[in-house]
Every structure is written in structure tokens, then in C-alpha cells.
Amino acid sequence: MDSLIRWKKGDYIKLGQAVSRFNKIINELDVDEREYLPDLMEYKDLKEHITSRKELNRIIKSLRRANIENLKETRTFDSGEEISRWEFSEINKARRRALRNLEVERAGILQNRPSIGMGDERLSEIKAIEDSFETLNEKTGSDLKRLKARIMTVGRSDYKLAKDKLFMDNFYKALEGISNFQNYEVLKKELDKIKNPTKFYEFVNKSPVLMDLFLWYKESDSLFYGGFSDNEDAFDSTLLFHLGISDIKV
């Protein structure tokens, strides 16, 4: 099970050096070549989206693979869009990882769903995402840019951990909506003990009622909305009977 990265001084230095080197190469290339070149990397943005050490190492290796030759040389999609050979290679690596990630997610849904029909919506989403990857060669302009971003997101080396962390963050945001409930602090105290996002998701997922209370919506794997239904009795029952938390106030 992946764990959240604990940043060390050396990690900051290695990532900073990789970003600086990459941007230096881009800036050294001719202005006429900039149209098909990848964007300059932002250290802060990259760091904020790194969840695990595995993903940190992957990003550093990817940036280090860039050089004058593979950035100047181009590859052309069927649509006529050109990108650098470096980015073409990285996108295809990411697409292979993304397809593996989605297949693992599909297998997990099929294995763990309690009844036929459960999880069908997500299974349909997975199929749609996979189908969209097949259209990469046909995309142009902003459509190509969006699809490349989706491939890189789903193709993270820590895809599951990143998804679970996003769920965890949004669950806490949703939890604030019931801070007036008598036993709000009881649940929050239990949740605060769980540091690993995957274990957090598994804990919440133990209770279908708690998952039902938390209404979350996802669009393009990036936008989430969370909220609890206004039912304090159901919430208390969830703590007591589904999660086995006995020190609730009634």
C-alpha cells in the first residue's frame, strides 16, 4: 500500500534541480520551436500534486530524460498536431500506466461490489475514459491539451493513493457541514487517527450509510462535491451500529 510522502531536504533539492534543468533547456531552444514544445514546469505546482515518493521519483526521472535532441525533434499526430519527441514518449508511457490503473480499478469494483448493478456508473466512466484515450491522435488545440492532462492525471504512478487522498480531503470538507451534530467530534476524532488515505477510504466505505450520507460527484476525475444529508439520527446510528463507535452521546 502506497503511503503519503514525507518530504526531506534532499527531495526539495532534487525536484528543484530537475525543474530548473528542464526549463533551462526549453529556454535555450529557438523561439520558432516553442509552438510544439511543452510548457515550462512550475516547481510549486508540481510539488503540490505529488502524493507519494514513487510519484516524486517518476517525475524527476521524466524531467531528467529531456534533452536538446528529444525536445527539438517532433512527432506528428494524425490530426497534424506536433509535439516534441520527449513529450510524445512521456504521454505514451502515461497512457499505458493509465490503462493499467483503470483496469485495476475495474477489477476492484467487480470483486468488491455487494450486488449486481453496484458500481455500474463508475464502470461506465472507466470505459468512457479508456475510449477517450483512443482518440488522442485525432485531437487538436485545446481538446488535445485537455486529453493530455487527463492521461497524465490517470497515469500517475500513485493513482489509487491520489484518488483516496482527494476523497479524504473532500470528506473532511463535507464533514464541516454537520459540525453542529452532537457526535460530530466523536467521528472526527476517529478519522483523525487514520493518516493513510487508502485506509481512510476503507474505513468510511465500511458503512454504506456513511457513504450514502456523503454525496460526492466527479467530473473528469477532478471536480468533487461533498455534503451530508441533514439527518442526525441516521448519523448517530451509523457511528454506533456500522462503525462500532460506542462512546456516542444519545
- Do the beta carbons of residue 182 and residue 190 sit within 8 Å? no
Q: How many angstroms from the chain centroid is the CA of residue 39?
A: 21
pLDDT on residue 205: 83
User: Tens digit of pLDDT for each residue in 226-247?
Assistant: 677 668 888 888 888 888 888 8
Is residue 6 very low, low, confident or very high in pLDDT (cuts 50, 70, 90)? very high
Tell whether 167 and 121 lie within a shared domain.
no
Residue 223 to residue 151: CA distance in whole angstroms: 16
Q: What's the DSSP call for residue 138?
A: G
Tell whether 105 and 35 lie within a shared domain.
no
Domain's final residue, options 27, 57, 72: 72
Region class of 119: left (phi > 0), else alpha (psi between -120 and 50), else beta: left
- Is there a domain that residue 233 lies in? yes
**Which grid cell is 48?**
503540490
Q: Does residue 213 have a pLDDT over 90?
A: no
**Which grid cell is 93?**
508511457
- Is there a domain that residue 225 lies in? yes
Is residue 97 very low, low, confident or very high in pLDDT (cuts 50, 70, 90)? very high
Tell whether 37 and 83 lie within a shared domain.
no
- Is there a domain that residue 249 lies in? no
Tell whether 144 and 165 lie within a shared domain.
no
Tell whether 81 and 149 lie within a shared domain.
yes
Tell whether 174 and 233 lie within a shared domain.
yes
- Is there a domain that residue 101 lies in? yes
pLDDT on residue 43: 97
pLDDT on residue 117: 59
Tell me the average pLDDT of the chain.
89
Helical H segments across the chain, by residue range: 9-28, 43-48, 53-64, 68-72, 85-112, 120-133, 141-154, 159-175, 184-192, 197-205, 208-213, 232-237
- Do the beta carbons of residue 66 and residue 22 sit within 8 Å? yes
Q: Does residue 72 have a pLDDT over 70?
A: yes
Q: How many domains does the chain have?
A: 3
User: Tens digit of pLDDT for each residue in 163-204?
Assistant: 999 999 988 988 888 889 999 999 999 999 999 999 999 898
- Is there a domain that residue 111 lies in? yes
Tell whether 136 and 171 lie within a shared domain.
no
Q: Does residue 156 have a pLDDT over 90?
A: yes
Please give the single-letter amino acid code of residue 109.
I
Residue 172 to residue 189: CA distance in whole angstroms: 12
Tell whether 179 and 128 lie within a shared domain.
no
Tell whether 57 and 22 lie within a shared domain.
yes
Q: Does residue 48 have a pLDDT over 80?
A: yes
Tell whether 122 and 51 lie within a shared domain.
no
Domain's final residue, options 157, 191, 207: 157
Best CA proximity match to 19, nearest among 51, 64, 56? 64
**Poorest-confidence range of 6-15, 70-79, 236-245?**
236-245
Mean pLDDT of 10-27: 97
Is residue 248 very low, low, confident or very high in pLDDT (cuts 50, 70, 90)? confident
pLDDT on residue 224: 55
Tell whether 103 and 147 lie within a shared domain.
yes
Q: Which domain holds residue 18?
A: 1-72
- Is there a domain that residue 248 lies in? no
DSSP-derived secondary structure for 165-177: HHHHHHHHHHHGG
In sequence order, the β-bridge partners of residue 219 are: 223
Is residue 154 very low, low, confident or very high in pLDDT (cuts 50, 70, 90)? very high
Tell whether 169 and 180 lie within a shared domain.
yes
Domain's final residue, options 106, 126, 157: 157
Q: Does residue 35 have a pLDDT over 90?
A: no
